[in-house]
Amino acid sequence: IDFDSVLENIKYLNSLVGEGSSEIEHTPWGARLRRPEHLLLTLYRNGIVMGHGAFRPYQHPATQQYLQDIMDGYFPSELQPRYPDGV
């Protein structure tokens, strides 16, 4: 696994969703700034952990697809059910 390329592509994808930016959230008393939800991805020598989920070894087909999507410059396809309207 080329970790440098994975990290570079993750930075690119994060820039597409406005990493570090805030959104205006209207409240009954006015408005406030809210940061978008983050999804933590931890890379290990032998696998990944997404969010607070289980450890996923690199040999697992779903993990390979997840990383291939990132390497191809796309958001992982397994996130589509969680974010049906996009990121």
Q: Is residue 42 part of a domain?
A: yes
Residue 19 has pLDDT above 90, yes or no: no
Q: Is residue 39 part of a domain?
A: yes
Residue 87 has pLDDT above 70, yes or no: no
pTM over 0.85: no
Q: Is residue 15 part of a domain?
A: yes
Number of domains in the chain: 1
Q: Is residue 87 part of a domain?
A: no
Render pLDDT for 44-75 as a digit per residue (tens, 0 to 9): 999 999 988 999 999 999 999 999 999 999 99
Q: Is residue 66 part of a domain?
A: yes
pLDDT at 84: 79
Q: Is residue 24 part of a domain?
A: yes
Alpha helices in 1-87 (DSSP H): 3-16, 61-71
Rounded Cα–Cα distance for residues 67 and 83 (Å): 18
Q: Is residue 56 part of a domain?
A: yes
Can you give the CATH number for the domain in which 30 is found?
Answer: 3.30.420
Domain of 55 in residue numbering reads as 3-82
pLDDT at 21: 63
